[in-house]
Amino acid sequence: PNEQAAGDMESLERMLSAGWRRVGSGHQIPAQQTAVSTAPSMDEIATDVSLSLADPHSGRSALRLQAWAADSKKAPLAIERPPLWVTSSNVPVRQGQLVQIHGWVNVPRRLAASTDGLLIFDSLGGSDLGERIRATQGWREFTLYRAVPQNGDLTVTFALTGLGEASVDDLSVSILEAEPIRPR
C-alpha cells in the first residue's frame, strides 16, 4: 500500500494538510492553486508551484514546478543551487525496513542554466543517491529503493535545479517486507 499522503497530486488542500512544503525560498506551497514568488537570494529568478490540469499522468492534475528569469535579457548562464524544490509529507519508517519510492515525472525540455535537470532524492539517501532527470519524452517512471538505517521519517524532494519546468505525478512510498536472513 502507498504510505505517501496526497501523492496523487489531486488536491492542494490535501497536500498542504498532509505536510507537503515548498522549500528554497522560505515559503510553503501557496494555499491557492498557483502563485508566483521571487526567492530573496535569487531575485533574478521567479518560481511557480501549481497543480496543473494540462496532461497529468493520471487523474485530473499533476504537480508542476517552474522557474524562469524575471528579465529574459538577464537570464543566468549557471545556477549554483536549485531555485525551487518541493518536499513531500513525512512517512514514518523503522530500522530494517526496505522502502520503494515510485512515481512519474515529465521534463518536456532540458532545464537551462543547469546540468542536473530535475533532481529527485529522499531523506535517507540524500541528493548523492538521487536521480537526475534532464529531459523526458512524455511521462517517465522512476523507482528508488532504500534500506532504512534507523527509525524516523522519510521525505521525498523534487528539486528544479535550473530554468524551465517539470511535472510530478502519482508519487508512492511503499514499505516492503524484507525476508528474514536464515542461516544455511
CA dist 137 and 1 (Å) reads: 29
Mean pLDDT of 113-123: 97
Q: What are phi and psi of 110, to 5 degrees?
A: -55, 135
CA dist 165 and 140 (Å) reads: 15
The string of pLDDT tens digits covering residues 133-148 is: 999 999 999 999 999 9
Q: What is the pTM of this model?
A: 0.87
Of the candidate ranges 42-46, 121-125, 135-139, the one whose mean pLDDT is the lowest: 42-46
**Does residue 24 register a pLDDT over 90?**
no
- Partners of 118 in the β-ladder: 133, 160
Which pLDDT belongs to residue 52?
97
Which pLDDT belongs to residue 41?
39
Which amino acid is located at 160 in the chain? L
Q: Confidence band (pLDDT; 50, 70, 90) for 38?
A: very low
What is the separation, in whole angstroms, between the first and last Cα of the chain? 32
Q: Confidence band (pLDDT; 50, 70, 90) for 105?
A: very high
